[in-house]
Amino acid sequence: MMIPAAPEAATQYPNWVEVNEVHITLYASRDTANWWATYRQHFDTARFTEVNSCLIGDLVQVACENRDHAQWLHDLLIEKGVAKAALKIGGER
């Protein structure tokens, strides 16, 4: 069952990267999934908004300072092995 969460970070930061953790759990390598889990634990939790939650992963938005920051994070995630299909950049242009 999916449970929507409130987008608190969206009011503070104009841009975000949406990460589909279910896609990472099911399709990414173990190293990539472990890297993402560690990254998320050590990241500023105020920047994470859970859009939907389920047992095997969440759909989260990671708040970014600006479009360049969002693009940087998007590119970093791809470099670490997250598929483009699991990511989406949103917010102001």
Domain membership of residue 4 (yes or no) is: no
Would you say residue 3 lies in a domain?
A: no
The predicted-structure confidence for 55-78, as pLDDT tens digits, reads as follows 888 899 999 999 999 999 999 999
Q: Where in the sequence is the domain holding 39, given as residue range(s)?
A: 9-91
For residues 40-69, give the mean pLDDT.
Answer: 88
Q: How many distinct structural domains can be found in the chain?
A: 1
Percentage of the chain exceeding pLDDT 70: 88
71 occurs within a structural domain: yes
2 belongs to a structural domain? no
Which is nearest to 60 in space by CA: 36, 83, 27? 36
Please give the pLDDT value at position 43: 77
Q: What is the token pair recorded at 11?
A: 């009011």
Residue 55 is assigned to a structural domain of this protein: yes
For residue 1, tell me if it sits in a domain. Answer: no
Instruction: Give pTM, 2 decimals.
Output: 0.80
pLDDT at 68: 95
